[in-house]
């Protein structure tokens, strides 16, 4: 198993756990962590032992956004360096969003700015009651540019404007109400809840089906209606030919319980 400087990666019962591991820095993002995050997700993506991925943070914060030392370093970047760095951040978000594996955010502390972005691109997000969420970039003259594409898809323009233009923090229940995360879980139940949820996905759902469904959700929103229907029909036909579908339908017809 590969060792990382700022995160840990381990596999248990077909679940890949990627844990941000800078508790003294509130798991803040820097250039090293972004490279490691993408690498760990690619490792999980390519592993036949991993069906579901859980992203979480070590310590009191999920992720506090950009590291202060990292921000200081950015002050001296050229346009070319800034473009390369921004592209690296975009690649991390897109890698998580486009992962063929289901990704669960286990949020046990504040998720701010880029940290809120990480929560946004996951397929499921569960939070403890005390966590705060927000896109605070406008408060320091910055722009939540990269994550905007994903956030608007998730919460719509009205909520997106409220979050990104105000720069305000919201509590976990408000994040649920805004469709930013899925639900609030008591802190002492979080670990068990996420493990059980991940195992249900592993045991009850087909990997191929979840993969195709994720791809369709990501792609179909960009198509005009007629093209979307044609794409959907094509994917429907393709799904019928997969071994998982043939196996699943046969088990259903035979009234047999299938174990994925």
List the catalytic residues.
Answer: 137
Report how far residue 52's alpha carbon sits from residue 14's, in angstroms, rounded to the nearest whole number. Answer: 7
Structural element, H or E, at residue 237: helix 225-240
CB 184 within 8 A of CB 176: yes
End-to-end, the C-alpha distance of the chain in Å comes to 25
CB 7 within 8 A of CB 37: yes
CB 240 within 8 A of CB 182: no
Structural element, H or E, at residue 95: helix 79-98
Report how far residue 143's alpha carbon sits from residue 135's, in angstroms, rounded to the nearest whole number. Answer: 9
Query: Do the bridges between strand 124-127 and strand 102-107 make them parallel or antiparallel, or are there none, so unpaired?
Result: parallel
């Amino acid at each position: 198993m590969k060792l990382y400087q700022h995160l840990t990666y381990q596999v248990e019962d077909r679940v890949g756990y990627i844990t941000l591991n800078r508790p003294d820095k509130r798991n803040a993002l820097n250039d090293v962590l972004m490279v490691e995050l993408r690498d760990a997700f690619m490792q999980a993506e390519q592993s036949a032992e991993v069906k579901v991925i859980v992203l979480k943070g070590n310590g009191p914060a999920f992720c506090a956004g950009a590291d202060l030392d990292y921000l200081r370093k950015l002050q001296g970047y050229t346009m070319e360096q800034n473009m390369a760095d921004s592209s690296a951040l975009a690649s991390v978000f897109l890698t998580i969003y486009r992962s063929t594996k289901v990704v669960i955010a286990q949020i046990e502390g504040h998720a701010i700015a880029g940290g809120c972005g990480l929560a946004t691109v996951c397929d499921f997000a569960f939070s403890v009651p005390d966590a705060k969420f927000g896109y605070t970039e406008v408060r320091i003259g910055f722009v939540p540019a990269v994550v905007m594409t994903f956030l608007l898809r998730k919460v719509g323009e009205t909520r997106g404007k409220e979050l990104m233009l105000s720069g305000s923090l919201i509590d976990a229940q408000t994040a649920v109400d805004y469709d930013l995360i899925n639900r609030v879980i008591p802190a002492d139940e979080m670990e068990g809840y996420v493990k059980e949820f991940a195992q249900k996905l592993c045991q009850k759902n087909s990997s191929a089906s979840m993969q195709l469904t994720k791809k369709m959700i990501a792609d179909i929103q960009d198509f005009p209606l007629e093209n979307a229907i044609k794409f959907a029909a094509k994917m429907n036909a393709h799904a019928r030919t997969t071994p998982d579908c043939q196996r699943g339908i046969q088990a259903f017809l035979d009234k047999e319980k299938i174990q994925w």
